[in-house]
Amino acid sequence: MSEAHKITLATAWLDGCSGCHMSFLDLDQRLIELAEKVDVVYSPIVDTKELPPVVDVGILEGAVSTEEDLHKARMFRGRCQFLISLGDCAVSGNVPSMRNTFDLDDVLDRAFVENVQAQPGRPSESLPTLLRTVLPIHHVVQVDLFVQGCPPSADTIWQVLTELMAGNTPDPTQFTRFGA
């Protein structure tokens, strides 16, 4: 397969723990096989920092919890032909959404005022504004495929990617679930 026919893949993490990306790296030796078929054009693990205008497959990890996350989710939706919501944080909000039952000011104050010995205060300079409510990705943009798991296993990610590369739409519920 020539370079020109490689599937382009972009990934990003929003509000998550990066565990889904680590699970992607757990593909281990299969990464080598993947690299022959897929061109990772944009990702935290590579240095190309401009999301190309058109990407075949986009993968988003993590929930939407800042204005920046919101912007990134919209940018991915706008530029990716097929958008995957990867992992429980992206699909359901998961652990990051646990702050939703608290008032955001209280959450910030615990970290930056109460548990601090010098210069207490809420940071804001050159930082994205936090959303009051953490949201799953599909609550802000349309998503084409949902892959649950915390994180989805490398085998699950491999199944999803190989099905997609074969031109099929995978059904992740056959091999993963919430909390897997």
Partner 1 sequence: MGRTIKIDPVSRIEGHAHITLHLDDAGNIDDAKFHLTQFRGFEKFCEGRPFPEMPALTARTCGICPVSHLVASSKACDHLLSVTIPPTAVNLRRVMNLAQLIQSHALSYFHLSSADLLLGMDSDPKSRNLFGLLKVDPQLAKDGIRLRQIGQTVIEMLGGKKIHPGWMVPGGVSGPLSEDSRTAMLAMIPEGLDIAERTFESFKDLIGKFPEEIQHFGNFPTMFLSLITPRGGLEHYDGFFRIKDADGKIVDDMVPLEEYQRIIGEAVEPYSYMKFPYYLPMGYPDGIYRVGPLARLNNCDFCGTKQADQALDEFRALQHDRPVSSSFHFHFARLVEIIFALERMKELLESPHILDTRVRARARGNNDEGIGVAEAPRGTLIHHYKTDDDGLITWANLIIATGHNNLAMNRGIKQAAEHFVDGNHLQEGMLNRVEAVIRCFDPCLSCASHAFGQMPLRIELHDSRGNVVDQMVR
Partner 2 sequence: MTHPPAATNPAPKVRVVTLKIDDHDVGARETDSILEIAQANGIRIPSLCYLDGLSTWGACRLCMVEIEGFSKPVSACSTTATEGMKITTNSARLKRYRRMILELLFAERNHVCSVCVSNGHCELQDLAAECGMDHVRVPYRNATYTIDSSHDLFRVDHNRCVVCTRCVRVCDEIEGAHTWDVMGRGVNCQVITDLNQPWGDSQSCTSCGKCVQVCPTGALVKKGTAAGEMEKHDDFVPYLAQMRKRQ
**Residues of this chain that bind partner 2 (CB under 8 A):** 85, 88, 91-95, 97-98, 100-102, 133, 136, 138-139, 143, 146, 148, 150, 171-173, 177-179
Any idea which residue has 């992992």 for tokens? Answer: 87
Distance CA 137, CA 80 (A): 14
β-strands 7-13, 38-42 pairing: parallel
Q: Whose Cβ is closer to partner 1: residue 5's or residue 49's?
A: 49
Distance CA 21, CA 25 (A): 6
Q: What angle do CA 22, 49, 92 make, to 5 degrees?
A: 45
Binding of residue 33 to partner 1 (CB under 8 A): no
Q: Are 44 and 112 in contact (CB under 8 A)?
A: no
Q: Whose Cβ is closer to partner 2: residue 58's or residue 93's?
A: 93
Distance CA 146, CA 96 (A): 18
Contact flags string 140-169 toward partner 1, x per CB under 8 A: ----------xx-xx---------------
Q: Are 34 and 163 in contact (CB under 8 A)?
A: no
Binding of residue 131 to partner 1 (CB under 8 A): no
Distance CA 41, CA 71 (A): 19
Q: Whose Cβ is closer to partner 2: residue 74's or residue 102's?
A: 102
Distance of closest approach, residue 140 Cβ to partner 2, in angstroms: 12
Q: Are 46 and 40 in contact (CB under 8 A)?
A: yes
Selection from partner 2, partner 1, none that 138 binds (CB < 5 to 8 A by kind) is: partner 2
Give the largest CA-CA distance in the chain.
59
Distance CA 100, CA 165 (A): 37
Distance CA 95, CA 39 (A): 31
> 6, 8, 37, 68: which one contacts partner 1 (CB under 8 A)?
68
Q: Whose Cβ is closer to partner 1: residue 19's or residue 170's?
A: 19
> 55, 58, 64, 65: which one contacts partner 1 (CB under 8 A)?
65
Selection from partner 1, partner 2, none that 139 binds (CB < 5 to 8 A by kind) is: partner 2
Q: Give me the residues that bind partner 1 (CB under 8 A), please.
A: 12-13, 15-23, 25-26, 28-29, 31-32, 35, 40, 42-51, 62, 65-66, 68, 71-72, 94-96, 98-99, 101-102, 106-108, 110-112, 115-121, 123-128, 130, 150-151, 153-154
